[in-house]
Amino acid sequence: MSVSSPIELNHMDELDLNIIKELKKNAEASFLKIAKQLGVSPKTVQTRYSKMREKGIIRYCTISIDLSKIGYQGKAYLMITNAPNQDESVTIEALSRTQDIVIVAGIIGDFDVLAIALIRNLEGFAKLLQDVKKVPSVGQVEFVLVSDTSFPVGKTYNKIDLQLPQP
């Protein structure tokens, strides 16, 4: 595979991975800056980036927000068990329409659904909890409150060491 050749299927090489690592450090980095870091041409970085976007490897670039600067005090992780004979997709759909819940996913383990909500204050959290418990498909709710106000992720995200799968 030459340096600027397209990605076939979803296979990546070290250069693709290194481009992602540079973008993970700074999603606003220019192709020129990334190219200088990696010792390739800006056109190569642009081509590889475009191919990774086309293949869905890079879905989008985003920002990280300090929620405390816009009035939030933390996050709540809601671990939900469905009521008997209820479909988790009904719970997920209902919770995805609930104000301040920003992530909802079906999970495997002791619970059926995990929801992450942004919390402004305890009164707001109490109302959110009441709203969640009113969803007919929800059986039980357990929660953890976290004072971290980074969203979607904090600085520790960049500590994740991305690696290609071993053959």
Q: How far apart are CA 3 and CA 9, in angstroms?
A: 17
Contact 80, 109 (CB under 8 A): no
Domain boundaries, the chain: 14-62, 65-151
pLDDT digits (tens, 9 = 90+) for 73-129: 989 999 999 999 999 999 999 999 998 999 999 999 999 999 999 999 999 999 999
What is the fold of 14-62?
Answer: Arc Repressor Mutant, subunit A (1.10.10)
pLDDT digits (tens, 9 = 90+) for 118-146: 999 999 999 999 999 999 999 999 999 98
Contact 155, 108 (CB under 8 A): no
What is the reported pLDDT for 31? 96
| Yes or no: domain 65-151 corresponds to CATH 3.40.50.720 | no
Cβ neighbours, 10 Å, residue 92: 19
Structure pTM? Answer: 0.69
Contact 78, 107 (CB under 8 A): no
Count of all residues that appear for the chain in the document: 167
The yes-or-no verdict on residue 158 having pLDDT over 80 is: no
